[in-house]
Amino acid sequence: MEERIKTTITDGVADVRLVRTDKMNALDDAMFMALLETGEKLKSDKSVRAVVISGEGRAFCAGLDMGNFGRMASGERDANKSEVTGRLEQRTHGVANRAQYAALVWRDVPVPVIAAVHGVAIGGGFQVALGADMRFVAPGTRFSVMEIKWGLVPDMAGMYLMRGLAREDVIRDLTYTGRIFEADEALAYGFATRICDDPLADALATAREIADKSPSAIRAAKRILNDAPDGDAASILLAESVEQDKLIGGAHQKEAIMANLEKRRPNFAD
């Protein structure tokens, strides 16, 4: 896995880096597996309080490895297909298949995930970035919903993830044309959270700030926010109350109060 992704955890912040720099971190079978394995490990690591995912080298992720398109043209299936389960319609991870879950797993990681994006994030790379809670983007970064160029549709949860960020007509424009758009346009559409001269440094700083907040409250907030786009008023309001009832009077909430009153850094036990 370390040939594709390296992870270090410091003071509760997981620094996840795609390291296939010779291929601009393109998605081959090994990269899909590394994304899934990394996400699954972080889901169960209670010491992790925030995650930053980035790409080393010239790009965040250049999308599906070019070699897969040649195999498709010859009639072979692409790397999104699990060798074990067969066709893409088969669900391997809850409501998703393997390729879809490589993007969606970051929503299931129970703490905030920030994608630090530079260079390019196109096709599948764009969809992996969409799976994060936030996207900090370098000026000039290029994006594309590029699947149409290859006679395909976005199939790594892009259709699901885009709808919560941008207007429907914008999504249709980008999906039908596959055109390149840059960081300022991504910010205007809602795909970028911030434009940063050094997105990795800013993402790590924000992750450290989050890691200093109540872990229980942060996880509760992510649960509510994950469900909110598909929920009605009644279910969202009830979720707020349920989560708040669990937090009030808990050890983390007491420590948050005392740290503020005593004007000190909080010390939250795992």
> Angle 215-227/251-261 helices, nearest 10 degrees?
120
Contacts of residue 241, defined as CB under 8 A and 6 or more positions apart, other chains included, come to none
- pLDDT value at position 67? 67
DSSP state of 61: B
Name the average pLDDT for the chain.
92
Model confidence pLDDT, tens digit, residues 18-57: 999 999 999 999 999 999 999 999 999 999 999 999 999 9
- pLDDT value at position 76? 56
Model confidence pLDDT, tens digit, residues 102-139: 999 999 999 999 999 999 999 999 999 999 999 999 99
pLDDT more than 70, % of the chain: 92
How distant is the alpha carbon of residue 125 from its chain centre?
10
Contacts of residue 244, defined as CB under 8 A and 6 or more positions apart, other chains included, come to 220
In the structure, what pLDDT confidence band is assigned to residue 6 with cuts at 50, 70 and 90? very high
CA distance 226 to 219: 11
- pLDDT value at position 70? 53
Q: Is the pLDDT of residue 81 over 50?
A: no
Q: Is the pLDDT of residue 188 over 70?
A: yes
The DSSP secondary structure of 162-194, one letter per residue, reads HTTTS-HHHHHHHHHH---EEHHHHHHHTS-SE
Q: Facing residues of 14 across strands?
A: 9, 51
- pLDDT value at position 68? 58
- pLDDT value at position 2? 79
- pLDDT value at position 92? 78
Q: Is the pLDDT of residue 80 over 60?
A: no
Q: What is the 3-state secondary structure (H, E, C) of 209-268?
A: HHHCCCHHHHHHHHHHHHHHHHCCHHHHHHHHHHHHHHHCCCHHHHHHHHHHHCCCCCCC
Measured CA angle at 90 (ends 227, 16), to 5 deg: 55
With contact defined as beta carbons under 8 Å apart, do 138 and 195 qualify?
yes
Q: Is the pLDDT of residue 74 over 60?
A: no
Q: Is the pLDDT of residue 85 over 50?
A: no
Q: Facing residues of 120 across strands?
A: 142
